Amino acid sequence: MRTPNVRVLYIDDEDHNLQAFKASFRRHYEIYTAISAAEGLKIMKNVDIQVIIADQKMPNTTGVEFFQSITETYPDPIRILLTGYTDIEALADAINHGDIYRYITKPWNDLELHNSIKNAYDAYKAKIDLRKKIAELEKTNDELNRFIYSISHELRAPLVSVIGIVNLVKMEGLFNSSGEYWGLIETCSNKLDYYIQKTLQYYKNNKTTAEQTEIDFSKLVGELVDVYSYTDRDTQFTINVNQTLPFIGDLFRIEVILGNLISNAIKYQKVDERNKKVEIGVNVTADKAEISISDNGIGILNEHLEKIFTQFFKSKVQHGSGLGLFIVKEALNKIDGRIDVSSDLDRGTTFKITIPNARE
């Protein structure tokens, strides 16, 4: 039975071999034959060949040399070498460089050669399918990049304007002039902004290549506390950084990790707590940084401790997107870090992080 659309080129300097091949396989494949490498190249310029069979011992150009010469210009066709004598070095070199798919000794066995052609065509289809899938993935990736750009600029820009207007209303003493409406606008705007920021963090964490830079934890932690503490000025921070050695690490992901944990430590304080506290400790050694972040907030149920790092997990006593700790875990995985958590309900939570020092 003829296998449709399988175009096979056979190159051999002996005409009787060409005729025998065509007689044996013309009913199975679309056969093209050439008496020399130069003639074979002419055929390839006009026909989309999928499988090439070439004899090794030909004048002017051997089969291996021909395959090597078309690697860049015709990379897709699958190559089968026919050899009537043993040339181990030439065969090994050709196989190692990917110039041939298989070699078959002459005189060939029809069944062996037929199976080799079918397998070669399957390999050809797999190669083409893979290229199409890669092209589709690249297109999807480009579309995703444009979508993320839209989120970070076109969507967030008007949202920031709304938040700015709410702040102006507060400054002019009009925040409570319309009942709860301004408060609802502020709450919804902040929540949407939070979701957008977490989406961007998740995307960048998965896309961004690690860049190792020197990190000053005193400066970094201080800046992050300033950024996140504006939401609750009543929370008191105690920061203790012990860093006498340089620390080299991925600044972007470490900022994401610490930022999320500091934000949570503030967010999950008890509403009626008069002495809200967050303690941050950093100890840097030659091989790692050990960081602890403790609060006296609402705590986490024991049965939830193993679930808090899963995507979209939210306990009944906590609010949020369920993305923050998931992003923390993903970022730590990217930098070979580790995180442990202990918590007592209504007494607080402690996160302990270990991040390798990449200074060596």
Model pLDDT for residues 240-292, shown as the tens digit of each residue? 999 999 999 999 899 889 998 998 898 888 888 889 999 999 999 999 999 99
Q: Model-level pTM?
A: 0.56
Judgement on whether residues 216 and 188 belong to the same structural domain of the protein: no
Judgement on whether residues 190 and 239 belong to the same structural domain of the protein: no
Query: How many domains are there within the chain?
Result: 3
Q: CATH number of the domain that 239 lies in?
A: 3.30.565.10
d(CA 299, CA 229): 19
Judgement on whether residues 268 and 155 belong to the same structural domain of the protein: no
DSSP at 302: G
Judgement on whether residues 252 and 347 belong to the same structural domain of the protein: yes
Report yes or no on 125 lying in a domain: no
Q: Determine the pLDDT at residue 214.
A: 94
d(CA 193, CA 231): 14
Q: What is the dihedral of CA 177, 183, 184, 189, to 10 degrees?
A: 120
Judgement on whether residues 248 and 201 belong to the same structural domain of the protein: no
Q: What average pLDDT does this structure show over 116-133?
A: 93
Report yes or no on 243 lying in a domain: yes
Report yes or no on 136 lying in a domain: no
Report yes or no on 281 lying in a domain: yes
- Asked whether the predicted pLDDT for residue 360 surpasses 70, the reply is no
Report yes or no on 24 lying in a domain: yes
Q: CATH number of the domain that 19 lies in?
A: 3.40.50.2300
Q: What average pLDDT does this structure show over 83-101?
A: 68
Judgement on whether residues 48 and 102 belong to the same structural domain of the protein: yes
**Domain-ending residue, one of 183, 207, 231:** 207
Query: Over 184-245, what HEC string results?
Result: HHHHHHHHHHHHHHHHHHHHHHHHCCCCEEECCHHHHHHHHHHHHHHHCCCCEEEEEEECCC
Judgement on whether residues 221 and 336 belong to the same structural domain of the protein: yes
Q: Determine the pLDDT at residue 229.
A: 80
Judgement on whether residues 178 and 227 belong to the same structural domain of the protein: no
Judgement on whether residues 163 and 74 belong to the same structural domain of the protein: no
CB 308 within 8 A of CB 349: no
Range(s) of the domain holding residue 19: 7-108
Specify the amino acid at residue 41. L
Report yes or no on 168 lying in a domain: yes
Judgement on whether residues 202 and 238 belong to the same structural domain of the protein: no
